[in-house]
């Protein structure tokens, strides 16, 4: 989807389209369900498949498994949504489906299909709202806000980020609170509101410091200390606090660790940019070479963007011989991918 198309679409979701949820959908389906009886086993199956597909996408990028996730949604899960179930099971079924749909939206966005990603995130929000799941609804809003930031629609991003933070305000999950507050902080920083961004950064740090290390069951509960450190680092960079940015990016890589190839590669690309801005050309080149090592085999628009950003900055590097070698390595990767 082109940027101007997204702008028109984001005006629709900010936030009018999100208010069109059907709070009685679960109850109505209880009394008018189809022939397939659905129980806790089907709900568990959806959660297991979402976790498995999500692990693969985190490692290798959204381009690897989205068609599998879509097929599972349209062939199996859709049949269960039209089936017979109790109200309690129905709410869990809608919640589990919301997570799967959110994952598909994330995969589509990671492939570069922004319009499709947006539609999935909106659908995820509606399913979560129908299930009465504030955390899942806030997470869907978080996806929409983050997408709007990346595409440059900052006023829309701020409005949706505020709605995300408001939706998650009463949750007692510290990882979820850190997740939403950092999203709001990123939107505020991009909007030039450094006071609000700094306040939210401190609040997110306070939340993550009280969070357990192990992931929980929900999507937001997988917001790790490493992801918090990465996102916080990039917000500090946006606020032009480059020492704090580099400190947080090293924290993400060296202390908290990031065991997914895709995620680690993205952090390395960002770290190299910060190092270059600080005048550490040699370190930046070494970091970008490590990025290319880590990005091997990953299919993600974030990786492609990282390579394009490095290429644009190589002429600024003083160490021309090493920069040329890195440029030749990128060129060879591009030729092999063609």
What are the DSSP calls for 236-264, one per residue?
A: HHHTT-HHHHHHHHHIIIIIS----HHHH
- 143 and 288 co-located in one domain: no
- pLDDT tens column, 188-212: 999 999 999 999 999 999 999 998 8
What confidence score (pLDDT) does residue 11 get?
Answer: 40
CATH of the domain at 82: 1.25.40
Domain that holds residue 177: 171-258
What confidence score (pLDDT) does residue 226 get?
Answer: 92
- 153 and 20 co-located in one domain: yes
- Tell me the percentage of the chain whose pLDDT exceeds 70: 88
Whether the per-residue pLDDT at 79 is higher than 60: the answer is: yes
* Identity of the highest mean pLDDT range in 15-19, 59-63, 162-166: 162-166
Whether the per-residue pLDDT at 287 is higher than 50: the answer is: yes
Q: Does residue 96 or residue 218 have the better pLDDT?
A: 96
Closest CA to 326 of 311, 338, 316: 311
The pTM for the full model equals 0.86
Quick check: 257 and 225 in contact, CB under 8 A? no
Whether the per-residue pLDDT at 20 is higher than 50: the answer is: no
Q: What whole-number distance in Å separates Cα of residue 329 and Cα of residue 325?
A: 6
- 139 and 235 co-located in one domain: no
- 12 and 114 co-located in one domain: yes
Write down which residue in 148, 169, 190 finishes a domain. 169
Burial of 222 (0-12, 13-18, 19+ CB in 10 A): middle
Whether the per-residue pLDDT at 90 is higher than 70: the answer is: yes
- 46 and 175 co-located in one domain: no
Domain total of the chain: 3
Q: What whole-number distance in Å separates Cα of residue 260 and Cα of residue 272?
A: 18
Closest CA to 267 of 241, 285, 287: 287
Write down which residue in 200, 231, 258 finishes a domain. 258
Whether the per-residue pLDDT at 12 is higher than 50: the answer is: no
- 246 and 152 co-located in one domain: no
């Amino acid at each position: 989807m082109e940027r101007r198309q997204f702008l028109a679409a984001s005006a629709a979701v900010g936030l009018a389209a999100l208010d069109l949820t059907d709070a009685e959908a679960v109850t109505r389906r209880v009394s008018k369900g189809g022939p397939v009886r659905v129980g806790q086993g089907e709900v568990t199956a959806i959660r297991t498949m979402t976790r498995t597909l999500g692990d693969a996408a985190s490692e290798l990028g959204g381009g690897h498994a989205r068609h599998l996730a879509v097929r599972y949604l349209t062939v199996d899960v859709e049949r269960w949504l039209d089936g017979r179930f109790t109200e309690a099971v129905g709410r869990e079924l809608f919640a589990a489906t919301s997570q799967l749909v959110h994952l598909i939206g994330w995969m589509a966005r990671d492939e570069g299909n922004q319009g499709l990603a947006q539609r999935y995130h909106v659908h995820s929000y509606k399913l979560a709202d129908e299930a009465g799941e504030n955390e899942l609804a806030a997470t869907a809003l978080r996806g929409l806000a983050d997408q709007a930031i990346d595409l440059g629609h900052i006023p829309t991003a701020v409005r949706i980020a505020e709605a995300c933070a408001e939706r998650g305000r009463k949750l007692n999950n510290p990882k979820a609170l850190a997740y939403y507050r950092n999203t709001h902080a990123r939107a505020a920083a991009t909007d030039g509101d450094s006071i609000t961004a700094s306040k939210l950064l401190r609040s997110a740090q306070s939340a993550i410091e009280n969070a357990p290390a192990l992931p929980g069951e929900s999507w937001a509960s997988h917001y790790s200390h490493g992801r918090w450190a990465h996102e916080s680092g990039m917000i500090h960079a946006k606020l032009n606090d480059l020492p704090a940015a580099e400190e947080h990016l090293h924290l993400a890589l060296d202390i908290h660790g990031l065991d997914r190839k895709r995620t680690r590669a993205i952090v390395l690309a960002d770290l190299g940019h910060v190092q270059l801005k600080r005048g550490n050309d040699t370190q930046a080149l070494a970091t970008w070479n490590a990025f290319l090592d880590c990005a091997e085999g990953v299919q993600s628009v974030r990786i492609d963007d990282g390579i394009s950003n490095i290429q644009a900055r190589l002429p600024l590097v003083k160490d021309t011989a090493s920069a040329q070698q890195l440029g030749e390595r990128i060129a060879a990767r591009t030729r092999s991918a063609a």
